[in-house]
Structure 1
C-alpha cells in the first residue's frame, strides 16, 4: 500500500487531515492525524475482506467485554480503525482478558457458522477463504465449513494422500461423539492466535484481525494454545473461573478436545504454507480420534 493511498483513505473515513505515515505491516500503515490521533489503514487480503473484518470488529466490540479497535470506515479496498500502541504482557491484563473473553463468548450468535451482522457469507481467515454458513449444530458446521473444504484443497495440492484424507473423514463422521456435550453457539473471534492478542500500553489486552462467526467457544481457546499466547495459564485460569461464575463452565474433557478444535487453523495453514502444517494437522486428527 502506498503512503498516498493510506493518507487518502484515512482522511476520507475520519474527516481529519493526515500529517504523516508509518509502516506497520505489509498491508497496513499507521496514519497520524492533525487532531493528534493515529489510525491504522489496512488493505483487504481479497474481495470483501475489509468489510468482513469491519463487521467482525463491530460485532465483537459491541458488548464491551474485550477491547476492540473502533472502526472509522471501510470501503472496497481499505479498512480504517484506531491504532493501539503496543505494550508488554502483564498478569493482571491477562486475567482481565480471560474474564472478558468468557463473557464475550456467552453473548452468543444466531447459529453455528453465522456471520456477524452485515458480514458476508464468503469471508476470510488471514489469506484464506472461509465460509460462514449457518447450521443448527456445531459438528455439521465444523465438518462442512471448517474441515472438509481445506482437506479437499490439501489433497488437490498434493499435501494429503487419499489415505490421509480418510483420517479427516473419520473425524468428521465421529464429530457428534467427539465434540462433547452440545452447547449453544458462541460469539467467536475466530482467529485468536497470539499475533491477534495485542498487549497495549493502556494495560489491557485487545483483540485484532478477527475471523468472527458463531461457533464453539473451545475453538478460540484452542487457537490461543496453538501458538502459545503469553501468560496463557493466567488467561485460561481466569476464563475458567469466569465461565463457572457465569453459570456456563467448560464441559468436562475440554483439554482432550484441543486437537479437534486446532484442526481448522492447522488446515488453513496447510493450504497456505504447505507440508509441515499438513503433518501437524494429520497428527491433530489422529489425536482427536484417540479421545
Structure 2
C-alpha cells in the first residue's frame, strides 16, 4: 500500500482491504474508502486540498452538483462518493449544459481567484486583475509554456502580444470550473450527477466551453441547453484551447505536441 493509502486507512480507522484505487487520478492519488457502516467515501491527496475543498463548496453555493466535502485532514481530502455509470445520454448533456450555464451566470468583478492553484506540476497564476487579454496571455499561456523548448515559447509569446486585438476587452468574469472535460463530469442513469476536480477562477465563459470541445464532442443537446454563444467564438476557441493543450504537453509528454501545433497554426503563429 502507498504511504497515502496508509494515511487514509489510519485516519479512517479501517483495514487496508477496505481501500481501492479509483480510475482516473492522473494528477493525484484517489482511493475509495468502504466504511464498516456501508458508506463509501473518496479520499484524494494533493498539496492544495483546502483550496479544492473551497472551490467545491463555492460551486455548490451556485447550485452546481458536486460531491459534498466530508473532511480535510493533513493532506487528505474526503469527499462524498457519487456513483457514475459514464453513460452520456442526450439528457445528461442537456443537464450539463444547464449546469454550466448556471455556473457562468455567476459573475465577479475581477479575473482570477483569491489564491494560486496547480494542475499537477503546472502552477496556475491566479492573481486577480481587470485586464483579460493580459491575464490569459501572461498568467495562462506564457506561464504554461515557460519551461518548454524555445520554439514553443517564442510562438506563444508572439500570440500573447496579439491578444488585445483577438479577445474581447472586458468579458464578464464568469465563474469557471477551470478543468472541464468529460473525465471531470459524473453521470448516472442518463442524468448529470456531479462536476468534480475543479480549478476555478473568474474568466471569459468561453474558456470552459473551449476545453470541453477540445477533448469531447458535446452534442446539440448540450449547446441548446447552454444557450447562444457570443459572435466570434469560433475564432477565439483555439486561443482558449491552447492552454489545456500546453498543460497536457507538459504533464503527459510529446504525444500532445501535434495538438499544440494544430492550435498554434489555427491562430496564425
TM-score class normalised by the smaller sequence: 0.7 to 0.9
Gapped regions of structure 2 (runs ≥ 5): none
Q: Provide the TM-score with structure 1 as the length reference.
A: 0.81
1:63 aligned partner: 62
1:89 aligned partner: 88
Q: Does the 8 Å contact 2:167/2:236 carry over to 1?
A: yes
1:252 aligned partner: 231
- Aligned-residue RMSD, C-alpha: 2.5
Deviates more, 1:200-209 or 1:69-78: 200-209
Distance in 2 (CA, whole Å) between partners of 1:62 and 1:35 is 29
1:145 paired to 2:139: yes
Give the direction of change, closer, same or farther, for the CA distance of 1:18–1:167 in structure 2 (3 Å limit): closer
Q: CA deviation at 1:207?
A: 0.8
Q: Secondary structure at the match of 1:108?
A: coil
Distance in 2 (CA, whole Å) between partners of 1:105 and 1:10 is 37
Q: Secondary structure at the match of 2:147?
A: helix
1:30 paired to 2:32: yes
1:236 aligned partner: 223
Q: Does the 8 Å contact 1:146/1:264 carry over to 2?
A: yes
Distance in 1 (CA, whole Å) between partners of 2:73 and 2:125 is 21
Give a deviation string over 1:119-152, Cα, whole Å, max 9, x none: x32x112442212110102111111110111222
Q: Provide the TM-score with structure 2 as the length reference.
A: 0.87
The aligned runs of 1:1-291 (5 Å cut-off) are: 1=2, 3-10=5-12, 20-25=18-23, 27-44=29-46, 47=47, 49-64=48-63, 66-87=64-85, 88-115=87-114, 120-121=115-116, 123-155=117-149, 160-161=150-151, 164-180=152-168, 182-201=170-189, 203-228=191-216, 231-240=218-227, 249-289=228-268
Give the direction of change, closer, same or farther, for the CA distance of 1:232–1:208 in structure 2 (3 Å limit): farther
